[in-house]
Amino acid sequence: MEKDLKPKFGKSYFKSLTGGCLYKPESVKDYEFSAFLSGKSQSEVDFPDAYYTLWTPEVKNQQVKETCVAHALASASEILERYYNGGKNQKYSTAFIYANRHEGQYDGEGMYISQALANLKEDGVPKEETGYTFNLDYPDAKAFLSQNGKALYDEAAKHKIAGYARVRSEYEIKDALCNQKTPVIVGMTIYESFYDVDATGIVSIPNNNEKSYGGHCMLITGYTKMDGVDYWIVLNSWGEYFGDRGFCYVPMSADNLFYEKWAIVPKKFAGREFSDVENIRWSKAYIDKAVKRGLIEGFPDGTFKPDGPLTREQLCVVLSKLLNKLEGEE
């Protein structure tokens, strides 16, 4: 167990950890989670009243480093490994995710969630080596990666993610959690009151006068109801002394605190195909890209009808979605 730093640093210590998750505007290249829904649930009433991830990794402690994105992505990978591959207590290298930042993908110690996910898809992530601490300053982590590059990248290539996508609605969060067994990665604006979360773990909705301290990355791992209020169960990386043994509970009504929501798409769902779009069809690659970017969805029966007519209504829907994405471009 890592040393509990709370008694020494107190509230000021928590504040030093915030700001590691940078906001990045939406892009037309972003994939939409709506394209990967499981199809198991047709409405909100199909989900259980409460859901707890079957297994969560040991609560991480980023200590005095702004490495929340790397910690969240490593924990998410560990949850998926446990569920889909039976990897008991498997740990992935947070230091690798942190050090494997490319030009333009970071500012200071902070990282962008989407670009860190892109690196997980392109390069993967290696298992954490026994005795190797993941809490390194960036220069030290980069030096470690440089010295052990080939071995680390070879190992990382064995653990690439299949895909990732933006999550929009409460329905999509619940589908990711309950049906796909993948946590939802969130970028959350942290306000003064967040540092006062006590052992109940309940996060207060900030008032209009509260100071914000930047972005922080965490994982939604489930949801519950307490005293008539619906909450997201959120795994933090500030050690087990924070909140309810490392977890906190964010009111669903405060969803606007999350400025980004992402899910790693399990291979089982990332490879979905339309029944009437053959692999040899000339337009398949274009159809796949449009679907994964949330511009088109196909029909409820699992078909795309590639030779069918395009109605004015369908064209308007596609153009509207495209314009919404373009408005979010830098």
Does residue 134 have a pLDDT over 70? Answer: no
Residue 4 pLDDT grade (very low, low, confident, very high; cuts 50, 70, 90): very low
Could you count the other beta carbons within 10 Å of the beta carbon of residue 106?
A: 18
- The domain locations on the chain are 6-269, 274-327
Q: Is the pLDDT of residue 7 over 60?
A: no
Higher pLDDT, 327 or 200: 200
Q: How confident is the model at residue 130 (pLDDT cuts 50, 70, 90)?
A: very low
Render 118-166 in DSSP notation, one character per residue: HHHHHT--PBPPTT--S---HHHHHHHHHHTHHHHHHHHGGG--S-EEE
**For residue 198, pLDDT beyond 80:** yes
Q: What is the 3-state secondary structure (H, E, C) of 265-318?
A: CCHHHHCCCCCCCCCCCCCHHHHHHHHHCCCCCCCCCCCCCCCCCCCHHHHHHH
Tens digit of each residue's pLDDT (9 = 90 or more) over 231-277 = 999 999 998 989 999 999 999 999 899 999 999 999 888 876 666 76
pLDDT band with cut points at 50, 70 and 90 for residue 286: confident
Alpha helices by DSSP H, listed for 148-263, are 149-156, 170-174
What rounded mean pLDDT belongs to the chain?
84
CA 120 to chain CA mean position, Å: 12
Q: For residues 79 and 15, which has the higher predicted lDDT (pLDDT)?
A: 79
The alpha carbon dihedral of 137, 70, 239, 258 has a sign of positive
* Helix (H) or strand (E) run with residue 207 in it: none
The string of pLDDT tens digits covering residues 166-185 is: 999 999 999 999 999 999 99
**Which backbone phi and psi does 226 adopt, to 5 degrees?**
-135, 125
Please tell me the class of the 6-269 domain: alpha beta
- pLDDT at position 70: 92
Please give the residue that has the higher pLDDT: either 171 or 9.
171
